[in-house]
Structure 1
């Protein structure tokens, strides 16, 4: 079979990809376990992560946003789903549903698959992760409903980063300041805020370390001036 070929060209192509991808694999993970002061920090493989993230994006656009329960949650936390955003709604990654609600003077017009794919690829999941975090609704069952089976690998690192950002926002400013940071003007304001959902000791400790690093940066205590750590 073609997939089992071991030609020199295939080997060369594989080696080239490995060399190319190696530039991006030495990235520290944003997860809570990224720095515990014991041994080297684990590495975040961005090459392996991205297809999982794309899977979450496709699931959210093609399936989740069309589910009544997800629409209910989105309405409750006051954030528009991609298909609700005007004047350029995104119904799917293929264009198969986009034509249903797109009308012009000549009647229904269909979005090409390439146009739909381009529009879908521009849909960021971060605003939805942030809204679930700030309202205390970033629970596993909700994240699974929004982003599908790959949510832990696909948006898990971003969720952890946003949970830490929420802790930082709470520490650096008052309630009104935090709310302004999480509002999406003019209409998608945060209806309510809750303390971080079910934080772990490791998560809080990692946030404390990162906060200390940030304070050191404010005082230019970086590089050779960085304070020593145990």
Structure 2
């Protein structure tokens, strides 16, 4: 039975501002969350196990679910077990390298097959970012689909990535349709079949993106450090 159900979008907290010498990291406000307008604390050591849980769920369960496979086919992205080079069927590790008519190189690194067959294989590491990005740009990043792909802890585990990539999509849109499609195409076999404007956007999410875009414009013009504008949030 498919795990995909429900279509209420949730906007979790964003990526932390990294302060390596501190035990917890400050976050910006979360669009649409109960803590919007506040500065919740984010502990990277609490977040990481949740992200790993999402990875294991995706590899061990979601990619073998008929509903997830249907969504992946619609948005034209291969699931790890479908990779023709070093397919990953579960979180235990990749299968031996293989090739065939559908073989092609991918733009993000794949985990290599273990060289020593007697050694215990390391747990598979598969980046979830390409899948999150593809769901966002095709308007498929609904709560039910995110849950179906990444499990019960998706808000805590991949929520920060989801929010950040939604913001990146807003930024990319400023460069024009053709440029955006090129940026999000992954290979000739996994090109983006269609693009949709960002779905279920809330005002707080746009406000947050505007402030960060202004900071990027300051960076572009070297208005940083001692040259940073005193006004907060103004666009250069």
Q: Under TM normalisation by the shorter chain, which class is it?
A: 0.7 to 0.9
Give the number of equivalent residue pairs.
195
Structure-2 change in CA distance of 1:224 and 1:54 (3 Å): same
Query: CA separation in 1, counterparts of 2:29 and 2:181?
Result: 24
**Which residue among 101, 113, 120 is the counterpart of 1:114?**
120
- Kindly indicate whether residue 66 of structure 2 is the aligned counterpart of residue 68 of structure 1: yes
The residue correspondences of 1:17-166 to structure 2 (distance < 5 A) are: 23=21, 25-29=23-27, 32=30, 41-94=39-92, 114-115=120-121, 117=123, 120-121=124-125, 123-166=126-169
Q: Which structure has the highest helix share of the two?
A: 1
Shift of 1:228: 1.5
Query: CA separation in 2, counterparts of 1:56 and 1:24?
Result: 25
- Residue deviations 1:46-84 (CA, integer Å, cap 9, x gap): 111000000000000000000111001000000000001
Query: CA separation in 2, counterparts of 1:202 and 1:211?
Result: 14
- Kindly indicate whether residue 230 of structure 2 is the aligned counterpart of residue 228 of structure 1: yes
Shift of 1:31: 5.6
- Residue deviations 1:187-221 (CA, integer Å, cap 9, x gap): 10000000101011110000000000000001111
Shift of 1:133: 0.3
Query: CA separation in 2, counterparts of 1:195 and 1:156?
Result: 20
Shift of 1:86: 1.6
TM-score normalised to structure 1 length: 0.76
Instruction: List alignment gaps of at least 5 residues for structure 1.
Output: 1-20, 104-110
Query: CA separation in 2, counterparts of 1:68 and 1:31?
Result: 36
Shift of 1:102: 7.4
State whether residues 138 and 194 of structure 2, in contact with CA within 8 Å, keep that contact through their aligned partners in structure 1: yes
Query: CA separation in 2, counterparts of 1:201 and 1:215?
Result: 21
Instruction: List alignment gaps of at least 5 residues for structure 2.
Output: 1-18, 100-116
State whether residues 29 and 44 of structure 1, in contact with CA within 8 Å, keep that contact through their aligned partners in structure 2: yes
- Kindly indicate whether residue 191 of structure 2 is the aligned counterpart of residue 189 of structure 1: yes
State whether residues 93 and 113 of structure 1, in contact with CA within 8 Å, keep that contact through their aligned partners in structure 2: no
Note the aligned Cα RMSD (angstroms). 2.9
Larger Rg over CA atoms: 1
TM-score normalised to structure 2 length: 0.74
State whether residues 26 and 43 of structure 1, in contact with CA within 8 Å, keep that contact through their aligned partners in structure 2: yes
Shift of 1:93: 1.4
More relative contact order in 1 or in 2 (CA 8 Å, sep 6+)? 2
State whether residues 94 and 113 of structure 1, in contact with CA within 8 Å, keep that contact through their aligned partners in structure 2: no
Query: CA separation in 1, counterparts of 2:210 and 2:158?
Result: 23
Structure-2 change in CA distance of 1:151 and 1:113 (3 Å): farther
